[in-house]
Amino acid sequence: MDIVEKVLEGGRMSREEALELYDMDLFVLGEMADGIRRRMYGKKSFFNINRHINPTNICKDICKFCAYSASRKNPNRYTMSHEEILSIASSAYERGAKEVHIVSAHNPNVGIEWYMGAFRKIKETLPQLHIKALTAAEINFLAESENIGYDDVIDMMIENGVDSMPGGGAEIFDEEVRDFICKGKVSSQGWLEIHRKWHERGRMSNATMLFGHIERREHRIDHMLRLRELQDETGGFNAFIPLVYQRENNFLKVEEFPTAQEILKTYAISRIVLDNIPHIKAYWATSTIGLALLAQEFGADDLDGTIEKESIQSAAGARSASGMSVEEFSKLIKNSGFIPVERDSLYNELRVYDQSQSEDSIGNF
Ligand code: V47
């Protein structure tokens, strides 16, 4: 059976087959990925109203791709107070945000209580607001610096109101590439173990992959396969998010950047290979909004959210510093031929923006 037939019959891709997908014509790949996406969600494209908060940029680690960390080129070191964090979360909530996405650097000057206290304060004040916080890299950092286990940090997160985990810190699992781009950060095995432990507690998380730097196609496939294996075990990943590498203001010098074709192929292949992860997210902050909208035809069913403010990718050149309004966001999705569906953090549908009329309908279709 050839690969196209196998994909059409819902067969699972082997490592070799997954790699071969990259050699296929972009539109053949797109049609296969779109077929899977359409069977799952029709023309619905999901997004949420969220606010990214990056409470400190002081970092003990040195990742070559990072332009956000204050330990390198960024002269503006900051650490927010709990009051500042709460005030950002409160004003976002008042404007309709359903989720705060809180990701920080690995700040050695504040203890674990600074992190946990911020979550507790938000949860006590705004119990309805979903807190998606702490990447596995941050959890590993906190466990190491406090000399406690992953389980301890995870239990504290739950006690202090964290609802789900973002997918950051995964970068590329291949150990050689990882060592070169972010030596000293959580290991691949550690990243997967932390997510396994989180899932074992009945909680959901996401998984990212940073691509378009020095990694090769085979490393991306390897990354996807390690995630697929864990997902077979736990079922705890909601979304896979390929993050396109942003090149400015950092130390990872790259000669060739991925073309739009390569980026779209990567979305399509992830939809085909990750047959057990429900959502493929085209995170517009790194892909650009134009390509994210196109990615809807190449397997992606989720465009993340309005973001409102973002500091990590925008420090490296992405045009995401001030997010997007929900009106603009939903209009772009609608005008690209898809049905904008506002979701909550766990993918329950909150509001469907009707295709044919300008009015919205509320509830599930
Ligand atoms: O892990 C850092 C990435 C991630 C660069 O779970 C860069 O819903 C591109 O995890 N170019 C943090 N990327 C962001 C993150 C995330 C984003 C959106 C949604 C979700 C989710 C999670 O940002 C880091 C790292 O891989 N990053 N520098 C850069 N130069």
Ligand 1 pocket member 105 (CB < 6 A): no
Q: Evaluate whether 274 touches 37 at the Cβ level (below 8 Å).
A: no
The pLDDT value recorded for residue 228 is: 98
Task: Give the lowest-confidence range in 25-34, 51-60, 171-180, 232-241.
Answer: 51-60
Ligand 1 pocket member 58 (CB < 6 A): no
CA 55–ligand 1 middle distance (angstroms): 15
pTM (predicted TM-score): 0.95
Q: Is a pLDDT exceeding 50 seen at residue 203?
A: yes
* For ligand 1, mutation pick of 71, 210, 214, 307 (most atoms within 8 Å of CB): 210
Q: Any idea where the domains of the chain sit in the sequence?
A: 12-344
Q: Is a pLDDT exceeding 70 seen at residue 361?
A: no
**Angle between helix 188-200 and helix 217-234 axes, rounded to 10 deg:** 20
pLDDT band at 219 (very low <50, low <70, confident <90, very high): very high
Q: Is a pLDDT exceeding 70 seen at residue 91?
A: yes
CA 307–ligand 1 middle distance (angstroms): 13
Ligand 1 pocket member 208 (CB < 6 A): yes
- In ligand 1, the atom with minimum distance to the C-alpha of 316 is 30
The pLDDT value recorded for residue 1 is: 67
Ligand 1 pocket member 304 (CB < 6 A): yes
Q: Is a pLDDT exceeding 50 seen at residue 244?
A: yes
The overall average pLDDT reported for the chain is 93
Q: Is a pLDDT exceeding 80 seen at residue 330?
A: yes
Q: Distance between CA atoms of 190 and 126, rounded to whole angstroms? A: 32
Torsion angle in degrees (nearest 10) through CA of 314, 320, 323, 325: 170
**What percentage of residues in the chain have a pLDDT greater than 70?**
95
pLDDT band at 360 (very low <50, low <70, confident <90, very high): very low
12-344 CATH pick, 3.40.50.1580, 3.60.20.10, 3.30.2350.10, 3.20.20.70: 3.20.20.70
Give the DSSP letter string of 255-275: S-PPPHHHHHHHHHHHHHH-T
Q: Evaluate whether 43 touches 337 at the Cβ level (below 8 Å).
A: yes
Residue 51's region, left for phi above 0, alpha for psi from -120 to 50, else beta, is beta
- In ligand 1, the atom with minimum distance to the C-alpha of 244 is 9
